[in-house]
Amino acid sequence: MKKRLLLLLLCLGFTQMTFATFTSANWRWRNDDGDETTATWKAAENAPIAITDRDATIRLRVEWVNTNASSNVSSDISIYYGTDPNQINTSITNEAGQHFMLVNSTAAPHGTATTRLLTGHSNYTSYAFIAGQIIGNTSNSRYDIPAQNKTEYEFVIKPTANIEPGKTYYFAFSWGSQLGGAINGPSLTVSATLPVKLADFNAQKNNGGVLLMWKTESEINNDRFEVQRSSDGKQWNVLAKVLGKGTAASYQQQDLKPLVGNNYYRLAQYDTNGTLDYSPVQLVNFSLAHTAINIYPNPATTKLNIAVPDFKGKNLNLSLNNLAGKTVASATVIVNEQKAEYILSKGLATGTYIIVLTADGFNYSQKISIR
């Protein structure tokens, strides 16, 4: 490891003094879900990680120390990767073909000063800490570390579509030696089965139904999609199963009988190994025009006639509430040709009531006088 890094440093024109006094020590992977101090950690210090999402930005925190007793060290910063721990020689840039690129985090922008967050290597607990930087792009940044001081730098890294499933990637830097002993350099392993990358999913009204359309940017080990629907966003029913095409593709499915009211749609995507992932939820509303609903006669004496144009269900749940909100009667009424009938209880007191009609995705209420 040290020989490989020494050759790399010599090629870049670094002096042997810089190599001998500047050391990378502890490191730690973290999520890009917070600012410089609040982002969460993905693993313990000096622990490799596995990634399953090629779209997820990750961050690599590194501790560097200047072990020289009298001289500062200073140079430009670069980070390299490779799939062979002895050949870490591909610089992370934004050029085509890269497996990783540096990106600017909105939560922790490029150039943000760092505070001490790592526990750090036990050999350097007495060293004073100076601020480093968040590195989020490939423009030149420089470190400048006084003698017997330490710092922390953090790289904001995003995998690209070129990462290879099942591969382990190793990372190194164009400056400083790697601390020996039990600490290996940073690494991560890409899941052997990356999830399907969904480019788009939407649902829209179409000829009295709902047209669901989605696209994938890539498909690896994709078994199938399930199109699911819900009236409340909690309980889901499967409308259709669609086999994956194995490559970037477009799909569509029609819901010919949407519910009255809210229709929530989502995709459940299954990998060949049974792994499950869900799409974002889409909402389409097919509410009845309440002005067209008619409950008569009003006032009523013995029964109520209920007209619900365009209602496609077979039953309505009916409750009769007094003005204090207490339910005094309830029933399930059968809808036939969009009409229903409800016989009033003989002992019902005269007065004003609220009649409430509900069904799957449907809710309607109206004042009724009974005499």
Q: Is 52 left (phi over 0), alpha (psi -120 to 50) or beta?
A: alpha
Q: Are 363 and 262 in contact (CB under 8 A)?
A: no
Question: Comparing C-alpha atoms, which of 318, 340, 320 is closest to residue 331?
Answer: 318
Say whether 122 sits in a helix, a strand or coil: helix
CA pseudo-torsion sign 37, 43, 45, 46: negative
Query: Which value, in Å, is the radius of gyration of the alpha carbons in the chain?
Result: 32
- Position 1 scores a pLDDT of 41
- Do β-strands 149-159 and 134-135 pair in parallel, antiparallel, or remain unpaired? parallel
Judge whether 197-286 and 290-370 match in fold.
yes
Residue 173 pairs in a beta bridge with 79
All structural domains of the chain with their residue ranges: 2-190, 197-286, 290-370
In terms of Cβ atoms closer than 10 Å to its own Cβ (0-12, 13-18, 19+), residue 256 is exposed
Name the class of domain 290-370: mainly beta
- Position 177 scores a pLDDT of 64
Q: Are 277 and 262 in contact (CB under 8 A)?
A: no
Q: What letter represents residue 317's amino acid?
A: N
Name the class of domain 197-286: mainly beta
Say whether 70 sits in a helix, a strand or coil: coil
DSSP states of 164-229 as a string? PTT-EEEEEESSSEEP-TT-PPPEEEE-SSPPPEEEEEEEEEETTEEEEEEEEEE-SSEEEEEEEE
Binned average pLDDT, 10 residues per bin, the chain of 371 residues: 39 38 88 94 94 86 90 85 90 86 93 95 93 86 88 93 88 70 79 74 89 86 90 87 88 88 88 81 77 86 90 88 87 93 90 87 83 88
- Position 223 scores a pLDDT of 87
